[in-house]
Amino acid sequence: MDTAKSIPAVRVKRSRRKQFHNSRVLLLMCCPAVIFFCIFAYLPMPGLYLAFVKYNYTDGIFGSPFVGWDNFKFLIMTGDLWRLTFNTVAYNLAFILLGNIAQITVAILLNEIRKKWFKKVSQTLMFLPYFISAVLVGLLAYNILSYDYGLLNGVLGALGMDPVKAYSEPHLWPFIIIITYLWQTTGYGSIIYFAAIMGLDTEIVEAAEIDGANAFQRIVHIVIPWLKPTFIILLLFSLGGILKGNFGLFFNLVGANNTALYASTDIIETYVFRSLMTNFNFSMGSAVSLYQSIFGFVVVLTANWIVKKVSPENSLF
């Protein structure tokens, strides 16, 4: 009996060894990614303890006085946590929704272009903004919006209109930041949707044309449904970072210390930057980062659960 029971176990071990041997190249290719996440994601995890202490340089992380939830309480009582959360989530929702709509639109329009040379030129021109550094984007914005020397106020002055104090008007910046983001990322982001459209069976499109469907009807009833799985996957990936702001964009456009614009432009990343570089409050910065990570984790699980209920074949897990 014991011998009979041991035979299936031996076969399982041999099959696993064979599977491992056959997949050795793929496993080897995974090693750099595994090593990267181990070093930069898992090894720093003990540093989360910093969020629960009053850090000082003399005692170090694990020798500093333990204060429990005091760092989090301070953030909540001052109102900073709610302002940072609202700004970060609101901007990212605008980036995700408007960005995907713009990218899908651009991909569909590129697909409808029949002249190959014009399509290539259009793609190149739309990709260029993505490769412009955030520093140069901030410089361009300053040269346009500067109160004394900006292009905008120069044009307004020539027309006999009052100048605009852009860097003192918080209500203007949500529009400026969102437009700048869309300008910089739409062309590059459309690549994924354009590649998905290229995988669409041309016979379906040709059959629709024969049946008398015009371009708009083909887009609505064939192309957009075809892009639905791609959109859902990209949406879930984006929701995972919904509490991670685009620090490069915000810092170079607005700066981290413009108090006049905190109400509409201060996000978690700029707050952490100030905590570390200006106030030297490492504990507070770590507390905000921990809150950011837990919030993003919960959002991903919730979004995936909803997608699994609505469309199980498109869920991540």
Look at residue 66 and give its three-state secondary structure.
Answer: strand
Instruction: Looking at the structure, tell me whether residues 204 and 306 fall in a common domain.
Output: yes
| Whether residue 66 is found in the same domain as residue 16 | no
CA distances (Å), origin 204, targets 109, 196, 208, 211, 216: 19, 15, 6, 11, 15
75 neighbors 287 (Cβ within 8 angstroms):
yes
Question: Which whole number is the average pLDDT over 122-140?
Answer: 88
pLDDT at 136 over 80: yes
Q: How many domains, in total, are found in the chain?
A: 2
- Could you report the per-residue pLDDT of 87-119, keeping only the tens digit for each? 999 999 999 999 999 999 999 988 888 888 888
Tokens of 243: 């509490």
| Nearest residue to 85 via CA among 294, 276, 307, 312 | 294
**234, 274: one domain:** yes
55 and 37 assigned to the same domain: no
**What pLDDT does residue 2 have?**
52
The pLDDT tens digits of the residues spanning 47-87 come to 888 889 988 878 888 888 898 888 888 778 777 788 888 99
Map tokens 């300053």 to a residue. Answer: 142
246 burial class (0-12, 13-18, 19+ CB within 10 angstroms)? buried
- Rg of the chain over all Cα atoms, to the nearest angstrom: 26
Domain that holds residue 16: 2-43
pLDDT tens for 159-197 read 888 888 888 888 999 999 999 999 999 988 898 899 898
Task: Identify the residue whose tokens are 């995907």.
Answer: 100
Mean pLDDT of the 17-31 span: 85
Average pLDDT estimate for 283-309: 82
- 61 and 11 assigned to the same domain: no
Q: How many CB atoms lie within 10 A of CB 75?
A: 19
Question: Quick one: tokens of 16?
Answer: 């696993």
Do 26 and 113 belong to one domain? no
What value does the mean pLDDT take over residues 148-166?
A: 89
- Asked if residue 279 lies in contact with residue 51, where contact means CB atoms within 8 angstroms, the answer is no
Considering 35-49, 97-111, 257-271, the range whose residues carry the highest mean pLDDT is 97-111
Let me know whether 83 and 205 are in one domain: yes
Tokens of 137: 């984007």
Computed from CA positions of residues 199, 314, 311, 107, in that sequence, does the dihedral angle turn out positive or negative? negative
pLDDT band at 3 (very low <50, low <70, confident <90, very high): low
- Look up residue 310 and give its amino acid: V
Q: Report the CATH number that the domain containing residue 183 is assigned in CATH.
A: 1.10.3720.10
Q: Residue 230's closest CA among 281, 285, 192?
A: 192
Query: What integer best gives the mean pLDDT of the chain?
Result: 84
pLDDT at 94: 93
pLDDT of amino acid 13? 62
166 DSSP 8-state letter? G
Same domain, 38 and 181: no
| pLDDT over 60 (residue 12) | no
Residue for token pair 């991903």? 300
Residues 76, 217 within the same domain? yes
Q: Per-residue pLDDT averaged across 306-314, rounded? A: 76
Give every CB contact of residue 141 below 8 A, 6+ residues apart in sequence.
176, 180, 253
Helices (H), 79-133: 80-112, 116-127
pLDDT of residue 42 exceeding 60: yes
Would you give the end-to-end CA distance of the chain in angstroms?
Answer: 40
